[in-house]
């Protein structure tokens, strides 16, 4: 074995397909795991599409290993190439979208059209007589050109409906370049141009690597979304009670000087009864946004329950009386409601539960002594 054979010979093609098989196998495991965990059609489609890609790559490996060059194997590879390409792009689309009958007709129609184009493969022997290699190339030309149609359709129709559009379009550009180089090398240089052969072997690896990164980043997005939904309140997007309590506990255990602000929207039940729950939800979102903005640089904000919202201030330089008053004032000016607010400061020996309870008691005193005011726990 020499360097030339490794980079430009049949061994380079074999190594290229072997690397692709490994990449596709990893993608298949990820996609299958997603499907088994979440049971969504998108992951099932991606898993099936990767199965076809794997079959195509393994068949290609087998053909290279056995040095088989027949019309039947060439046709099988071309059709598997088209089917796997269509299915994997459909899988990518379904990672981000629900698929209606219209989309299924589009994608499966592309596969059916591939079979229609393949009629040329079987018609050529009756119309042309030449060497076996020339005949095989002429038989394949219809399907090879149809791949360009698929690339253009996917490039312009799929990106607007998915995330990571640039990465997806880059993958299709790489595949377009690969298909172009492959045709030039096969039909003009009889696969003997070393530079083109090297590109034909490397570009598919780049293409599948980009698809792998797209799938991997989609998994990261899903994991981040799942994590965020587990620690935040669905309506207000503030941290939920469990997460807030755990963060307070962490600070208290380290004896860090923190404040807890506890707020309650005044007359919220009356608002719901007179103006409806939709108005109540809108008010909750407005108050939550104020809490989040004020707490952004000095702590965290959470929804403790119902119309009760809390803030943990971990920045010791914050003047808590001014901070609490600013929140109360903004709620009064920027919404149609007011809020009663209480706050407390951590002292040695207090537990997280006791610290929050003190702030709650201070808020209750504000509520029972006139509302729309700030009270410090004493």
Q: Are residues 161 and 26 in the same domain?
A: yes
Q: 278 and 186, same structural domain?
A: no
- Domain assignment present for residue 236? The answer is no
Same domain membership, residue 254 and residue 351? yes
Q: Are residues 194 and 275 in the same domain?
A: no
**How remote is the C-alpha of 159 from its chain's centroid?**
13
User: How many folded domains does the chain comprise?
Assistant: 2
pLDDT tens for 36-87 read 887 777 788 888 888 888 888 888 788 777 766 676 777 788 888 899 899 9
Question: Measured between alpha carbons, how far is 201 from 257 in angstroms, rounded to an integer?
Answer: 61
C-alpha–C-alpha distance, residues 290 and 304, integer Å: 15
Range of the domain at 9: 3-231
The residue among 183, 202, 231 that closes a domain is 231
Residue 49 lies in a domain: yes
The CATH number of residue 287's host domain is 3.30.70.270
339 domain-assigned: yes
Helix or strand or coil: residue 261? strand
Q: From 182, 199, 231, give the residue that closes a domain.
A: 231
Rg of the chain over Cα atoms, rounded to whole angstroms, equals 32
* Residue 84 lies inside a defined structural domain of this protein: yes
221 in the same domain as 311: no
Residue 136, pLDDT score: 60
- Please report whether residue 207 resides in a domain: yes
Q: Are residues 321 and 296 in the same domain?
A: yes
Tell me the percentage of the chain whose pLDDT exceeds 90.
49
**Distance, first Cα to last Cα, the chain:** 85
Specify whether 74 is located in the same domain as 205: yes
144 and 207 fall within a common domain:
yes
Residues 269, 157 share a domain: no
Q: What is the pLDDT along the chain (378 residues), one digit of tens a residue?
A: 445 555 555 677 778 888 888 999 999 998 888 888 877 777 888 888 888 888 888 887 887 777 666 767 777 888 888 998 999 899 889 888 887 888 889 999 999 998 888 777 666 555 555 555 555 656 678 888 899 999 999 999 999 988 889 999 999 999 999 999 988 988 787 767 888 888 888 999 999 999 999 988 888 887 888 888 889 988 999 999 999 999 999 999 999 889 999 999 999 999 988 999 899 999 999 999 999 999 998 999 999 988 999 999 999 899 999 999 999 999 999 999 999 999 999 998 899 999 999 999 999 999 999 999 999 998
Residue of 88, 49, 30 whose CA lies nearest to 211: 88
Cα(318)–Cα(332) distance, rounded to whole angstroms? 22
User: pLDDT tens for residues 289-329?
Assistant: 999 999 998 999 999 988 999 999 999 899 999 999 999 99
265 located within any domain: yes
Tell me: do 175 and 69 sit in the same domain. yes
């Amino acid at each position: 074995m020499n360097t030339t054979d490794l980079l430009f010979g049949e061994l380079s093609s074999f190594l290229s397909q072997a690397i692709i098989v490994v990449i596709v196998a990893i993608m298949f495991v990820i996609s299958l795991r997603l499907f088994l965990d979440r049971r969504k059609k998108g992951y099932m489609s991606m898993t099936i599409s990767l199965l076809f890609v794997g079959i195509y790559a393994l068949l290609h490996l087998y053909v290279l290993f056995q040095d088989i060059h027949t019309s039947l194997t060439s046709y099988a590879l071309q059709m598997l190439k088209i089917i796997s390409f269509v299915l994997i792009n459909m899988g990518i689309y379904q990672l981000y979208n629900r698929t209606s009958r219209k989309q299924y007709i589009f994608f499966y129609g592309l596969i059916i059209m591939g079979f229609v184009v393949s009629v040329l493969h079987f018609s050529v022997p009756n119309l042309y007589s030449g060497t076996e290699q020339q005949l095989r190339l002429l038989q394949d030309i219809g399907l090879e050109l149809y791949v360009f149609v698929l690339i253009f359709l996917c490039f312009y129709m799929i990106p607007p409906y998915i995330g990571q559009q640039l990465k997806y379009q880059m993958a299709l550009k790489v595949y377009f370049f690969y298909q172009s180089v492959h045709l030039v090398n096969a039909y003009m240089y009889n696969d003997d141009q070393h530079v083109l052969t090297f590109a034909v072997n490397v570009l598919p690896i780049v293409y599948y690597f980009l698809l792998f990164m797209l799938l991997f980043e989609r998994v990261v997005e899903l994991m981040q979304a799942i994590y965020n939904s587990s620690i935040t309140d669905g309506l207000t997007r503030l941290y939920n009670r469990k997460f807030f309590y755990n963060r307070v506990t962490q600070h208290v255990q380290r004896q860090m000087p923190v404040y807890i602000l506890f707020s309650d929207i005044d007359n919220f039940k009356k608002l719901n009864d007179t103006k409806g729950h939709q108005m109540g939800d809108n008010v909750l979102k407005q108050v939550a946004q104020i809490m989040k903005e004020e707490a952004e640089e000095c702590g965290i904000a959470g929804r403790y329950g119902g119309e009760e919202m809390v803030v943990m201030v971990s920045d010791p330089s914050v003047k808590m009386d001014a901070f609490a008053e600013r929140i109360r004032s903004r709620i009064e000016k920027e919404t149609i409601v007011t809020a009663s607010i209480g706050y407390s400061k951590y002292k040695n020996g207090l537990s997280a539960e006791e610290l929050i309870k003190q702030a709650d008691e201070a808020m209750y005193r504000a509520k029972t002594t006139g509302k729309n005011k700030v009270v410090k726990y004493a």
